[in-house]
């Protein structure tokens, strides 16, 4: 039996009622599996990553890297991808691609599955090589894609050796002042140019790109020459500042302008229970919408009940806004008429206890949640 069943049984005994089960808002049923949301369409640009299981290496030697690139070239050809950029690190890889068909999942199943089988056979091992399937972020062509390509190409020097690792903020968070020493900067740039397992050398004209790498197409799309692209990537290091490309990432899924995000939101389709990213991508209801739902359920206006002593109407609005908009206690207090955050916290606790003791109110809360959820779909 699932855990939430035993919790429900215990509460039935606790509240001396075999007819009442706690509302799903407090004890949601467990999900069989949380699946990543995949949005595929012809002409989509993606940043793709896949990591080793338990962050272990997925490339043990150069033969592994060559085998991966050979398989990647085959996938690019068979699935009609434009592969714009790549980098192979010890325990993960990054790709930036454009798909001409809606085939992202099938292509990456072929890539990761085929490489895992070859890797296990080559090294006489068994079991999972990758942690899960893969992570893909939809990119707005040109602007967002250009920023992410810089992030991707700088990965080989994001290490402690050059003082640019994750333990060296703020560069570890991709933002803020770097201020590297001249010696560290020189060493980092030399390592960046010498790194074989990335598309950067092909981008800046230091080597001929293979037939399966569309670096020239990418540069044409973003309107840069190889020399200009090199300056774009390296100038922030020399100037001591690099902004994170992920600041405006929406729902861990989409990176681009508000217009682009709205367009992708219209294409998103899936099960909101199994795919949390789909809920995050859906715009939250406004404060006015939440108040309107409560007014309709109570058949009276906010002005009539918001400051009525002992009334639960205001507390219901606070509870819904806290859940659906992730508002802070101070923000809730401001919208509810200038209440201080301590009083808001007390009101939420009081309403929670009241729902536990009042099944009709708990059901009303569920109806309000459902109405707001339906409004977002």
- CATH assignment of the domain containing 52: 3.30.70.1290
Q: How many CB atoms lie within 10 A of CB 63?
A: 11
Residue 114: band (very low, low, confident or very high) from pLDDT cuts 50, 70, 90: very high
Rounded CA separation 315/246 (Å): 36
Mean pLDDT of 81-107: 95
Residue 25 pLDDT > 80: no
Residues 5 and 84 in one domain: no
Number of domains forming the structure of the chain: 3
Residue 262: band (very low, low, confident or very high) from pLDDT cuts 50, 70, 90: confident
Residue 36, pLDDT score: 52
Mean pLDDT of 153-178: 62
Mean pLDDT of 111-138: 93
Residue 40: band (very low, low, confident or very high) from pLDDT cuts 50, 70, 90: confident
What mean pLDDT, rounded, does the chain reach? 81
With beta carbons less than 8 A apart as the criterion, state whether 368 and 320 touch.
Answer: yes
Residue 269: band (very low, low, confident or very high) from pLDDT cuts 50, 70, 90: low
Residues 224 and 314 in one domain: no
Among 199-203, 357-361, 371-375, the least confident range: 371-375
Question: Using CA of residue 299, residue 305, residue 309, residue 310, what is the dihedral sign?
Answer: positive
Residues 164 and 311 in one domain: no
Residue 45 pLDDT > 90: yes
- CA 322 centroid distance within chain: 22
Residue 252 pLDDT > 80: no
The terminus-to-terminus CA distance of the chain in angstroms comes to: 32
Residues 309 and 231 in one domain: no
> Which residues touch 220 (CB under 8 Å, ≥6 apart)?
none
What domain range includes position 187?
44-239
Residues 128 and 162 in one domain: yes
Nearest residue to 128 (alpha-carbon basis) of 107, 106, 112: 112
Domain membership flag for residue 247? no
> Which residues touch 309 (CB under 8 Å, ≥6 apart)?
none
Residue 21, pLDDT score: 42
Residue 338: band (very low, low, confident or very high) from pLDDT cuts 50, 70, 90: confident
Nearest residue to 87 (alpha-carbon basis) of 213, 273, 223: 213
With beta carbons less than 8 A apart as the criterion, state whether 93 and 86 touch.
Answer: yes
Domain boundary among 174, 208, 239: 239
- The percentage of residues in the chain with a pLDDT greater than 70, rounded to a whole number, is 76
Residues 69 and 153 in one domain: yes
Place of tokens 């217009």: 259
Q: State the helix-helix crossing angle for 143-153 and 226-239, rounded to 10 degrees.
A: 70
Place of tokens 């050398």: 201
With beta carbons less than 8 A apart as the criterion, state whether 277 and 251 touch.
Answer: yes
Residue 335: band (very low, low, confident or very high) from pLDDT cuts 50, 70, 90: confident
Mean pLDDT of 297-310: 86
Rounded CA separation 187/169 (Å): 19
3-class secondary-structure state, position 372: helix
Place of tokens 């808002």: 25
Residues 128 and 216 in one domain: yes
Among 28-32, 58-62, 69-73, 336-340, the least confident range: 28-32
């Amino acid at each position: 039996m699932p855990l939430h069943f035993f919790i429900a049984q215990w509460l039935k005994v606790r509240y001396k009622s075999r007819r009442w089960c706690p509302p799903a808002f407090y004890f949601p049923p467990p999900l069989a599996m949380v699946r990543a949301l995949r949005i595929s369409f012809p002409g989509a640009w993606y940043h793709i990553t896949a990591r080793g299981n338990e962050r272990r290496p997925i490339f043990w030697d150069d033969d592994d890297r060559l085998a991966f690139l050979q398989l990647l070239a085959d996938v690019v050809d068979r699935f009609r991808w434009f592969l714009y950029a790549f980098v192979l690190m010890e325990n993960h890889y990054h790709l930036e691609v454009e798909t001409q068909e809606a085939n992202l999942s099938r292509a990456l199943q072929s890539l990761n599955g085929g490489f895992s089988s070859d890797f296990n056979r080559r090294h006489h091992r068994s079991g999972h090589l990758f942690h899960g399937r893969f992570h893909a972020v939809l990119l707005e062509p040109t602007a967002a894609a250009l920023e992410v390509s810089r992030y991707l190409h700088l990965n080989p020097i994001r290490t402690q050796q050059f003082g640019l690792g994750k333990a060296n903020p703020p560069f570890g968070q991709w933002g803020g002042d770097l201020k590297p020493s001249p010696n560290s900067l020189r060493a980092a740039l030399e390592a960046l140019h010498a790194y074989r397992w990335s598309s950067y050398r092909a981008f800046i004209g230091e080597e001929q790109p293979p037939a399966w790498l569309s670096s020239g197409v990418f540069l044409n799309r973003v309107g840069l020459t190889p020399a200009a692209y090199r300056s774009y990537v390296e100038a922030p290091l020399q100037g001591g500042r690099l902004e994170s490309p992920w600041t405006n990432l929406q729902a861990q899924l989409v990176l681009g302008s508000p217009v682009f995000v709205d367009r992708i939101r219209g294409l998103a389709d899936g099960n909101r229970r199994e795919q949390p990213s789909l809920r995050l991508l859906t715009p939250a209801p406004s404060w006015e919408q939440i108040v309107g739902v409560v007014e309709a359920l109570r058949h009276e206006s906010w002005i009539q009940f918001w400051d009525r002593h002992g009334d639960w109407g205001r507390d219901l609005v606070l509870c819904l806004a806290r859940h659906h908009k992730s508002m802070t206690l101070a923000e809730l207090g401001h919208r509810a008429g200038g209440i201080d955050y301590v009083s808001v916290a007390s009101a939420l606790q009081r309403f929670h206890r009241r729902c536990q003791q009042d099944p009709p109110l708990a059901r009303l809360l569920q109806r309000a949640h459902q109405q707001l959820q339906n409004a977002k779909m």
